[in-house]
Structure 1
Amino acid sequence: MSGVTVDAPTNDSQPLSNPRTVRGWYMYDWANSVYNLVITTTFFPIYFVAITKSSYGEKVPFLGRTFKGTSLYDYALAFAYLAIAILLPILSSIADSRGNKKIFMQFFCYLGGFACMGLYWFDGSPESPPSVEWGLICFILAAIGYIGSLVFYNSYLPEIAAKADQDRVSAKGYAMGYIGSVILQIVGFALVVFVDSKAGSLLTFLLVGIWWIGFAQITFFTLPKTRSTGVKFQTSAFTAGFRELRKVSREIDAQPVLKWYLLAFFFYSMGVQTVMLAATLFGADVLGLPDTNLIVTVVLIQLVAIGGAMVMSRLSHRFGNLKVLMGVIVFWIFICIAAYLVAHLKETTQQNVEYYFYALAIGVGLVMGGIQSLSRSTYSKLMPATEDTASYFSFYDVAEKIAIVIGIFAFGYIDELFGMKNSVLSLIVFFVIGLIGLRIARKKQKRALATGNA
């Protein structure tokens, strides 16, 4: 790992919005987004459901119990997010105090990349190990690597970009991520179609790890070193990490706009992230769409999302971040209602709903990239000027990851009891609570601006 960490200038010698530094920063979006698209969104969930269903049927054995295949996938992902939510406060506190968050970012990048490569050996059949356990362990480690690296990556945003540029830089990062992930998605699609469905999927898992680690070197070479806060731990790293989280929590509690924004973000993230992570399962399990159609659909979502992220950035400059986010949340509510109606139509009439699913995909793409990039830059702009950027973004990421744990677990549990169609409808509750929180945050922001306290 030390071979990758080069002597880069510290933040003191790098001006904000330095083009070289900014380009290096958003290249990590290009590097890691292939994991999010290929592993969690398309190829792995499709492959996992297909391989386990052909080997075991509807009920998949795992650690002595049996689960519905789609629910087992949801539970594994929820476990990964829970694990990283526990680890992040400790790691970010250490990174801030020692000024070595790039090393932590590298560690999680390599953990995730090599875990993706490990999926190449996931056969899934009961006769030939590696078994289901191997596949899910690699999947969980890849998720931990992805999530863990992002908290340190995101915390660089206020250090490399001026506040006026953060919406644009954040949106550019997401756009780069979508472009990169679509390229590898197309390569994977070609392997599945022209080589073999199973072998093509396994080769794609291998390529994800190589792409992720390979392009991340540009980021590691370019990002500046971070300064230590000068705080020395008097207790264990575990205690210090959660003590730092409590400190950040108290500081946020004293800032009403930021507090209500984070509360809203917590709830609407339950809905947004769950829709994004379960969309492919919905298409395969509920609508019965072929694998190739699902892969094409996800490519469509990514292409639309590139423009969506940039449009949201421009709208935020005109109308303000919170107002635009409120409009986006309303759009997400309509998407959930439409998805339920499409599933109901398929269930009651057995009608071909492929084109309805494509329309839903376009809608998701329009708001998916925008809400992610705008949420990140809104938090970065609302947080106070501080040296503890990793700790602040750790708090943000912990909130998001706990939200995802709750959202995915609830989705999987309702799916197991009542079916995935009803799981989709239940997500509206999270969006409505998030919308109320954003409305309160916006009112408090307007009041603060009127009194000159913003």
Structure 2
Amino acid sequence: LVGFWVSFAINNSYLPDVAFPKQQDAISAKGFSLGYVGSVILLIFNLAMVMQPDFFGITTDEAGAAEIKAMKYSFVTVGIWWVLFAQYSFYYLPKGYKKEGKRTNIILNGFKELKLVWQQLGEQIILKRYLGAFFVYSMAVQTVMLIAAYFGEEEIGWGTDSERTMGLIISILVIQLVAIFGATVTAKASEKFGNIKTLIVVNALWVCICIYAYFVITPIDFYIAAGCVGLVMGGIQALSRSTYSKFLPETKDTTSFFSFYDVAEKIGIIIGTLLYGIVAQLTGSMRSSIIFLGLFFLIGMFLLLRVKESKKPL
């Protein structure tokens, strides 16, 4: 998680460097879409290894069961995948902004950089308001992404264990595949209606999904919910990133601003999952927690209404 989220913060910070403001919604959406495509390709390959290990020459022996060995090999393929595609990124991406002088106390200075960004937010009222809205609704988005599979495992009547396992795998694939389409559609909508208005509508759709999830019982219900989550998940992630990028002040140090953006998101995850767990514990049902998360999307909508559109089409 440390490696993934650090890389994601740096990855996000490249957006202002590789695209003009009017291009950023489409480029952000394309980035997430290609990420989902890659994850689906590798996931299907790894699932094939686990489900048909004999086809890949993986057999059961004294070292262990074929399926378990296939799972272990899957981790290796993930590592190879990261290394290969990282080389492509390293070759083509700009080298970025590097401060002069020797760097010391890197971890402590990282917190100082975040503090400097916080101080600058005092002068960037619109950006600060947007970050507040993002913090609230992202708290719910990230929590849903983390607990979706667990919710499906505990609350849905799958039948046998194998049917439950296959059902959850199919659900993950559905979310990833539909998210490709969702990110693209949301970018097109923002081009026509503006970023803030589109984000408000997407949050409203999340509220509807939370209400629907409360009544989900059968596997088919869960597949429908997974498809709806995928549609708005890709869209809200891609558009949130590009909207933040457009609101940034003129600066070469975009990494510090996007690090602040990601830190806000991670704090939201901690709070969101904690509240989800508390509500589930108090009520004895994860369904009540899903409805509770819907309130954060509702609050996010109202906070977005406070973010005024600038002269640029946001």
Place the TM-score, normalised by the shorter chain, in its bin: 0.7 to 0.9
CA distance in 2, matches of 1:294, 1:258: 38
Q: Which amino acid aligns with 2:47?
A: F
Change (3 A) 1:231 1:325: farther
User: Residue deviations 1:342-382, cap 9 Å, x none?
Assistant: 1xxx4xxxxxx011111111111111111101011100111
- Paired residue for 2:74, among 195, 204, 219? 204
Give the aligned partner of residue 115 of structure 1: none
Provide the rounded CA distance (Å) in 2 between the counterparts of 1:280 and 1:201.
19
Q: Match of 1:436, as an amino acid?
A: F
Does 1:254 pair with 2:123? Answer: yes
1:295 equivalent in alignment to 2:295 = no
For 2:201 and 2:228, locate their aligned partners in 1 and report how far apart those are by CA, in whole Å: 13
SS in 1 for 2:215: helix
Corresponding residue of 2:62: none
Match of 2:61 in 1: none
TM-superposed deviation, 1:284: 1.0
Structure 1 residue 324: Cα displacement: 0.3
Give the equivalent residue in structure 2 for 1:94: none
Partner residue, 2:10: 152
Letter in 2 for 1:300: V
Structure 1 CA distance for aligned equivalents of residues 85 and 111 of structure 2: 33
- Which structure's relative contact order is higher, taking Cα pairs within 8 Å and 6+ residues apart? 2
Q: Distance in 2 between matches of 1:303 and 1:366?
A: 9
Instruction: Give the alignment of 1:94-105 within 5 angstroms.
Output: none
How do 1:77-226 and structure 2 match up within 5 A? 143-195=1-53, 197-226=67-96
- Displacement of 1:414: 3.4
What TM-score, normalized by structure 1, do the two folds share? 0.62
Q: Which secondary structure state, in structure 2, belongs to the residue aligned with residue 254 of structure 1? A: coil
Kindly tell me: are residues 232 and 433 of structure 1, through their superposed partners in 2, closer, same or farther at Cα, counting changes over 3 Å?
farther
CA distance in 2, matches of 1:238, 1:360: 41
Q: Distance in 2 between matches of 1:237 and 1:205?
A: 31
- In the alignment, the residues of structure 2 paired with residue 428 and residue 272 of structure 1 have an alpha-carbon distance, to the nearest angstrom, of 10
Residue 341 (structure 1) aligned with residue 210 (structure 2) = no
Cα shift readout 1:239-280 (whole Å, capped 9, x = no counterpart): 433332222112222222211110000010111111111111
Gaps of 5+ in 2: 54-65, 159-163
- Relative to structure 1, is the Cα distance of residues 215 and 401 closer, same or farther in structure 2, using a 3 angstrom cutoff? same
TM-score, length basis structure 2: 0.88
Going from structure 1 to structure 2, the CA distance change for 1:172 and 1:429 (only over 3 Å counts) comes to same
2:246 to 366, 376, 381: 381
State the 1:433 CA deviation.
Answer: 1.8
SS in 2 for 1:427: helix
- Report if the CA contact (8 A) 1:329-1:435 is conserved: yes
Q: CA deviation at 1:305?
A: 0.9
- Cα 1:232–1:337 change in 2 (3 A) is same
**Structure 1 pair 428/384, CA: closer, same or farther in 2 (3 Å)?**
same
What's 2:264 paired with?
A: 399
Match of residue 245, structure 1, among 114, 120, 140 = 114
RMSD: 2.0
Flag the 1:231–1:314 CA change in 2: closer, same or farther, 3 A.
farther
- Structure 1 unaligned residues grouped into runs of 5+: 1-142, 347-352
Cα deviation, residue 231, structure 1: 7.0
Q: Return closer, same or farther for 1:238/1:209 CA change in 2, 3 Å cut-off.
A: closer
Residues in 1 aligned to 2:107 and 2:131: alpha-carbon distance in whole angstroms: 24
Distance 2:79 2:156 in 1: 31
Q: What is the 5 A alignment of 1:48-63?
A: none
Q: Is the 8 A contact 1:269 1:400 kept in 2?
A: yes
The answer as to 2:198 corresponding to 1:328 is no
Please state whether the residue corresponding to 1:386 is helix, strand or coil.
Answer: coil
Task: Classify 1:144/1:220 alpha carbon distance in 2 versus 1 (closer, same or farther; 3 Å).
Answer: same
Which residue does the alignment assign to 1:128? none
Percent identical residues? 47
- Give 1:183 deviation, angstroms: 0.7
CA contact (8 A) 2:25 2:243 kept: yes
Name the counterpart of 2:304: 438
**More off after superposition, 292-301 vs 421-430:** 421-430
Using the TM superposition, give the Cα deviation of residue 296 of structure 1 relative to its aligned residue in structure 2, in angstroms.
1.1
3-state SS in 1 of match to 2:167: helix
Of residues 123, 127, 146 in structure 2, which corresponds to 1:277?
A: 146
Contact 2:97–2:253 at 8 Å: present in 1 too?
Answer: no
| Structure 1 segment 307-322 matched on structure 2, within 5 A | 307-322=181-196
- What CA distance in whole angstroms lies between the structure 1 residues aligned with 2:68 and 2:118? 47
